[in-house]
Structure 1
Amino acid sequence: MIEFINVGKTYSNNVKALQNINLQIDKGEFVAIIGLSGAGKSTLIRCINQMHDITEGSLVVDDVEVNSLRGKEIRKFRQRIGMIFQSFNLVSRISVLKNVLVSFVPELPFWRKITGIFTKDQKIKALTALDKVGILDKAYVRVDQLSGGQQQRVALARTLAQNPDIILADEPIASLDPITARQVMDDFARINQETNMTIIINIHHVEIALEYAERIIGVREGQIVFDGKVEEVTKDVLQHIYQGETKDIKEIQLEERKRNYV
């Protein structure tokens, strides 16, 4: 379980990214976080694995007070939380399999880190993860020879190989075409259903968020302005989240693309 209790985050330039966040996410939930660029969505999910420190309140993950962790405790804690980025964060000049094996580096003894030698069990776990996302046949292909969608699946396989309890995804389909985006979202949905793994996605594609997630959290100016089931999301709710005169989902997406372009 993830619990935010009166959480706030203020950056060094005195910008308040999060204000008075009170939120509970239970194991196995598939949650989509929506809102305008700069609303605080990325900050919200990055606080969960302490990529960002909170400056107020308390953030607890499975009875662990996240902001009390230091040094090795943080690294061990992060092994339980997979993080997927828009940019994939892959090493393009090496194979798909080697990129997935990177997930085991933190737990390797020093000599294995230096030599790059992984155990048979680790290789099996990496290959199994690739099979789960449908790209086992690409295991020995260099990453720079893959499409964007395939690279995102490699990033997902790398996360699955570490066997996390939670997956955080920060705009995982932002750079993908519509068909590929849905293929990646299908992977998230299947993993959530088959493993009961908690998945939290920060996403600009409102229509896709409503199609795949079971719960929507709307963030505006660093505050949660909506938290409910997908069925509860109406045009009025979307207008409230996005603050504009928007009438439907397509108009929201058009306005968001304009803002990103500018």
Structure 2
Amino acid sequence: MIKFEKVSKVYPNGYKALNNVTLEIEQGEFVAIIGLSGAGKSTLLRTINRMHDITDGKLTVHDREVNNLRGKELRRFRRKIGMVFQSFNLVTRTTVIKNVLTSRVPDMPLWKAIIGLYSKADKIIALEALDKVGILDKAYIRADQLSGGQQQRVALARTLAQKPEIILADEPVAALDPVTAGQVMDDFKKINKEMNISVLINIHHVDLALKYCDRVIGIRAGEIVYDGPSKDVDHEILKEIYGRELADNEVMGE
């Protein structure tokens, strides 16, 4: 379980990105976080794996208070939380499987990591991850020969190879065309349902959030203004999250 209790985040410049956030996310949920740019969506995600420290309140993940973790304990904690970004962050001049294998490095002896000496077990894990996202046949192709959607699938496979309990995805389909975005969201849905991995996606496309995710969290100016089933999101709720003009025009596609 991920549990926010009156959590706030204030950046050094005084900007308050999160304001008194309280919510709980159970293991195995597929959650979309929606809202305007600058509303606090990315900050909310990045406090979970402690890319950003919270300023006030209490944040626990599987009963561990995140801000109390230090050193090796923090590194072990982060191994169980995968992160997928809008930019694929691949080494494009090397093969797909080598990109996926980089997620195994923290579990390897230093000398093996330096020379890239991966075990047979690690290679099997990487190949299984690629199979999960439907690009096993691309394993030995250079990453720069793949389409944008395929590169994002490599990034997702790399995260799967960590053996995570939670996946955080920060605008993972923002750079993709609508058809490819749907295919990548299919992969997230499959992983969530088949592997019971909690998936939290910060997503701009409301239509995709409502189609694929079971639960929607709407955030505005750092505050949660909606938290409930995606099937219950209507025009009035979107106005609360985005404001009337954007809900009428951009969000609803009118």
Whether TM exceeds 0.5 here: the answer is yes
Once the two structures are TM-superposed, the CA of residue 204 in structure 1 deviates from its matched residue by 0.3
- C-alpha RMSD over aligned residues: 1.2
Structure 2 regions of 5+ residues with no counterpart?
Answer: none
Q: Is the 8 A contact 1:5 1:58 kept in 2?
A: yes
One-letter amino acid of the structure 1 residue matched with residue 213 of structure 2: A
Give the ranges of 4+ consecutive aligned residues of structure 1 lying more than 3 Å apart after TM superposition: none
Q: How does 1:64-143 map to 2 (within 5 A)?
A: 64-143=64-143
Paired amino acid for 2:106 = P
| Deviations 1:183-208 (CA, angstroms, capped at 9, x unpaired) | 00000111111111100000000011
Q: CA–CA distance in 1 between the matches of 2:8 and 2:145?
A: 42
- Counterparts of 1:138 and 1:195, CA distance in 2: 23
Superposed displacement of residue 74, structure 1 = 1.4
1:245 CA displacement: 2.7
List per-residue Cα deviations over 1:43-66 (Å, max 9, x = no partner).
Answer: 000000000000100100001100
Match in the other structure for 1:234: 234
- In structure 2, C-alpha distance between the alignment counterparts of 1:127 and 1:190, rounded to whole Å: 17
The amino acid across from 1:209 in the alignment is A
In structure 1, distance between residues paired with 2:34 and 2:79: 26
The alignment status of 1:162 with 2:162, answered yes or no, reads: yes
> C-alpha deviations, 1:188-233, integer Å up to 9, x for none?
1111111111000000000110000000000000010000111211
Counterparts of 1:221 and 1:34, CA distance in 2: 12
CA-CA distance at 1:254 after TM superposition: 6.2
Distance 2:222 2:162 in 1: 31
How far did 1:77 drift?
0.6
Deviations 1:64-96 (A, max 9, x none): 100001122211111000000000111111100
Q: Are 2:180 and 1:180 equivalent residues in the alignment?
A: yes
User: What is the rounded CA distance, in whole Å, between the counterparts of 1:188 and 1:247 in structure 2?
Assistant: 26
Q: Aligned partners of 1:39 and 1:253: how far apart in 2?
A: 19
Q: How does 1:1-262 map to 2 (within 5 A)?
A: 1-248=1-248, 251-252=250-251
- For residues 193 and 177 of structure 1, the distance between their equivalents in structure 2, rounded to whole angstroms, comes to 24
Distance in structure 2 (CA, Å) of the matches to 1:113 and 1:129: 20
**C-alpha distance in structure 2 between counterparts of 1:253 and 1:67, whole Å:** 38
The whole-number CA distance in structure 1 between the counterparts of 2:83 and 2:32 is 15
Give the Cα–Cα distance (whole angstroms) in 1 for the partners of residues 252 and 98 of structure 2: 37
Note the C-alpha offset of 1:251: 2.6
Contact 1:203 1:209 in 2 (8 A): yes
Amino acid at match of 2:147: S
Give TM-score scaled by structure 1 length: 0.95
Please state how far the C-alpha of 1:253 moved relative to its aligned partner.
6.3
* Contact 1:35 1:241 (C-alpha < 8 Å) held by counterparts: yes
Q: Percent identity?
A: 64
Mapped to 1, the partners of 2:73 and 2:15 lie a distance apart of 28
Runs of at least 5 residues in structure 1 that lack an aligned partner in the other structure = 256-262
Native 8 Å contact 1:6 1:21 kept in 2: yes
Contact 1:204-1:253 at 8 Å conserved across structures: no
